[in-house]
Structure formats: structure tokens, C-alpha cells
Amino acid sequence: MTETTLRAAPQTEAVEYARRLAARTMRTWSLIEYEELVTAIVAELVANAVLHAGTMLELRLIRRIGRVRVEVRDRATGMPRLTIPEPEDEGHRGLFIVDRFSAAWGADPVPGGKVVWAEVST
């Protein structure tokens, strides 16, 4: 197993830092064909943490046999909820995108907050 971590303040810049780290990591792991999927998931999960949790966050990318797991931990206890956006909705697409791009996703309560995760099959 290989992993990489980013800790960030709840600022919009965290999304771009996270995207760059994900892209660089996927290249380092020779998984370039999954870079777009993983970076999109990372961007959505980090953006959700910034917007909805507003706490310090931690992004972890974990490479396992046959999959890449994305985890975003924050200090908020509210759990995410998937909504199906209407065509005219300008928002509420984050978890919808994660749901479509990942093989599986979920959220787990942990002491002091939660971890929202998604996995991409490789």
C-alpha cells in the first residue's frame, strides 16, 4: 500500500492544492489513465469539506491492489447526503459526480468528525 496526505485549511485554495497533489500522485503511481477520475473526485470531496464543514481537513490518497481510495477527513459531524440534481440546478452536484465516477463511496463517523471516502477501481 502506498499513500499520500495533504492537510489544509478550509479555504477555496485547498481544492486546487488537492487537485495538483492528486494529479501528481496518479502520475507517480503510473496510473495516468485514472488521473481525471481521481482528481474530479478529490476536487468534489475537498470542496464539500471546505463549503459544508468549514474546518481543517485532511486528504489521503491510498493505493491498494486494484483500487485507489480517496479519503477526506474533517471535523464536522454532519454526514453528506446524495441528492439527484435537476437539470436547472447550479449546485448540489458534488456527491452526484462522486457517485458516478467511483466504484463505491461513503462516509464514516470518526472521533472528532467524519471521513468521506470514494474508491476508483484500477
Is the confidence at residue 37, as pLDDT, over 90? yes
Q: Model confidence over 69-112: pLDDT tens digits? A: 999 999 999 999 887 777 776 666 789 899 999 999 999 999 99
pLDDT of the residue at 28: 96
In the structure grid, which three cell numbers stand for residue 5, read together? 496526505
pLDDT confidence of residue 90: 66
Report the chain's mean pLDDT, rounded to a whole number: 94
Reading the block at residue 103, the C-alpha cell is 466504484
3-state secondary structure of 92: coil
Q: How confident is the model at residue 23 (pLDDT cuts 50, 70, 90)?
A: very high
Q: How many CA atoms lie within 13 A of 15 on its CB side?
A: 15
Q: Name the nearest CA neighbour of 62 among 98, 17, 97, 31.
A: 31
H-only helix segments in the chain: 13-28, 35-48, 94-101
- Check whether 1 has a pLDDT greater than 90: no
In the chain, % of residues over pLDDT 90: 85
pLDDT of residue 83: 78
The pLDDT, as a whole number, for residue 21 is 98
Secondary structure letter of residue 108 according to DSSP: E
- The Cα–Cα gap between 17 and 59 comes to 10
Q: Average of pLDDT values for 2-23?
A: 97
The phi, psi pair for 9, rounded to 5°, reads: -75, 160
